Structure 1
Amino acid sequence: MRFLLDDEQREFARSLDALLTAADTPAVVRGWAEGHPGPGLTLWRRLADAGVFALAVPEVYGGVGPLPVETAVALMELGRHGVPGPVVESVAAGVLLGGVGGPVAKEWLPRVASGTAVVSLVLEGYGPYALDADVAEAVFSVAGDELRLTRGPGEPTPSMDPARRLFRPGAGGEVVATGPKVREAARAAGTWATFATAAQALGCGEALLRATVAYVKQRTQFGVPVGSFQAVKHRLADTLLGLEFARPLLYGAAVELAEGSPGAGAAVAAAKVAAGEAGYAAARTALQLHGAVGYTEELDLAWWLRRARPLRDAWGTPSACRARVLQG
């Protein structure tokens, strides 16, 4: 297997990094958390113009996918910059509706790919909450062999991360598709959601490590940077190892998905465990080495600290993913 990105994929990552850096994403995240999604939705459309939301949408519906490797590249960058919104859910919805086909796919997938529609998603077995349903035009949910479309956010639920608002969709909704293919499409969508969340978690962990390394070079104690202390170096090295070991698992899972391998589900679960745990470990390291300043909301770091644990658990907890790996 080849785990190195090609020149085009690396340029895609660089272009997204430049776009998100210029967009002042921390300010966008703060606005999103405070209930002002306008700048976030503007950024959403710019990401759509860059092709992010078309990566999992089949070409017949206006997308360019499914492209798992490019999806991993994009979601890592979005996780590194802390982009808010139901990004993972939109990617998974592309897989779900593409698998179901029919009128619902023709109506919604071109809009998802172009960024003119923001959607969220609830799948049986992954929890009852829809992420950022208050800004989504529609929430798709699957239970058994039924695919339902619900408009309106439903009941809000407290969240560890104010920029990741959770809602429990109301009962009912319009049934837009039924049958065995709904269940099969939902299974594939769940795997893609787990995969995309792993990429986000890895990007989040890398951002936390980068910020922490920069901080310990500046903070001094006993007249020298704290980053020169051996214990600090060891902690940062352990964090880096965790992130670097997760990366090939993520790329390996992308290759398995691209090839339609029967072991893709287990590979994705392994990547999610590694990336989720590595990202959360990076958050703990960042908080410890920043000290009390790491708790303050004035520091942009706080938004990444709050996100690491929800990403570890979203779309497959560590225990659930380990069980999936053991199933093979």
Structure 2
Amino acid sequence: MRFVLDDDQRDFASALESLLSSAGTAAIARAWADGDHDPGVKLWSRLADLGVPSLATDATPVEVVIAFEALGRHAVPGPWVESAAYLPVALGHEVEGMATVALPPVVPYALDADVADQVYLGSAPARSIGRRHRSVDPTRRLFEVAGAGEVHDPAFELAVLAVSAQLLGAGERILADTVAYAKQRRQFGREIGSYQAIKHALADVRIALDFARPLVLGAALGEVPASAAKVACADAAYLSSRTGLQVHGAIGYTQELDLSIWLTKVRALVTAWGTPAHHRARLLEGLVG
């Protein structure tokens, strides 16, 4: 099957890319991690003007995928999966403002519950917000919540698909930045990107991302399970992050380098909304159960 976006979808993707490319999202992510949410909230409002929070109810999963790949590519912080993917489907309407949700045990904590206007446990409002837990990604602020609520299966599938698209976008960004670095970094009188070992490593990442993308689009069209997209995108993005770190060398470990924003985000998203083991088990159950 060949997946081709129509003109409206390409225009939407272009508008998102134009907005996010000029928004300074790396600085916004750093501010969010430091507890300064104002720049992120302003960006949230601009994305809301483009209709991102209403995609789950007013558009198709393909538009959701387009949006979340862009959010991942630009490391936009905030509970986007919760507000723009899970809760609109679970509640049956667009969420006003910023909202978050926990779905224990698969999603044990509510992301950014200290900032969100609404906090849910399942499809019911949470009774209280508890202790904060640290994440490997400093932009992800995780909180215990108390209450009672059930998982909405179609909403969960869309949320898994959204996270998959985020991983795909983040993996693509890391690969693009790593290729650019390999073309300018010189050792022994030549660009490191000219060495076969680095070429082959980057080619492996390109192949992994290219194989993951059809699963994301296939899941958006209902042709394959969202769990298949999550597993493939998690593996591809993690390979991209490991390769990016290896190619950058010691500088890749530093927080001052923007690459670290995407490296930590990929590591967190790999296990967000279900670990790879959880989704592999779901796929196995679907095949033999």
Query: Could you tell me the TM-score, scaled by structure 2's length?
Result: 0.94
2:134 to 142, 151, 158: 158
- Answering whether residue 86 of structure 2 is matched by residue 92 of structure 1, we say yes
Partner of 2:37: 37
* Unmatched 5+ stretches in structure 1: 58-63, 99-104, 257-263
**What amino acid is the match of 1:314?**
A
> For the Cα contact (< 8 Å) 1:137–1:151, is it kept in 2?
no
* Unmatched 5+ stretches in structure 2: none
- Answering whether residue 274 of structure 2 is matched by residue 316 of structure 1, we say yes
Q: List structure 1 segments (4+ residues) > 3 angstroms apart after TM superposition.
A: none
Structure 2 matches for 1:1-328, cutoff 5 A? 1-57=1-57, 64-65=58-59, 67-90=60-83, 91-98=85-92, 109=94, 112=95, 116-142=96-122, 147-150=123-126, 153-169=129-145, 171-172=146-147, 186-256=152-222, 267-328=225-286
CA offsets, 1:68-103, max 9 Å, x none? Answer: 0000001000100000000111121111101xxxxx
SS for the counterpart of 2:56 is coil
SS for the counterpart of 1:168 is strand
Alignment RMSD: 1.6
User: Percent of counterpart pairs with the same letter?
Assistant: 51
SS for the counterpart of 1:139 is strand
Query: Could you tell me the TM-score, scaled by structure 1's length?
Result: 0.84
CA offsets, 1:228-283, max 9 Å, x none? Answer: 00000000000010000000000000000xxxxxxx6x621001000011011100
**What amino acid is the match of 2:157?**
T
CA offsets, 1:286-325, max 9 Å, x none? Answer: 1000001111111111100101111111112111111111
Mapped to 1, the partners of 2:104 and 2:187 lie a distance apart of: 52
**What amino acid is the match of 1:168?**
E
How many correspondences in the alignment? Answer: 285
CA offsets, 1:45-67, max 9 Å, x none? Answer: 1101101110012xxxxxx13x1
> For the Cα contact (< 8 Å) 2:209–2:233, is it kept in 1?
yes
SS for the counterpart of 1:305 is helix
Worse-superposed segment, 232-241 or 2-11: 2-11
**What amino acid is the match of 2:211?**
F
CA offsets, 1:164-195, max 9 Å, x none? Answer: 111111x34xx7xx8xxx65xx1111111111
Residue 124 of structure 1: how far off its partner (Å): 3.7
Residue 10 of structure 1: how far off its partner (Å): 1.5
Mapped to 2, the partners of 1:151 and 1:141 lie a distance apart of: 9
SS for the counterpart of 1:155 is strand
> For the Cα contact (< 8 Å) 1:138–1:152, is it kept in 2?
no
Mapped to 2, the partners of 1:43 and 1:271 lie a distance apart of: 28
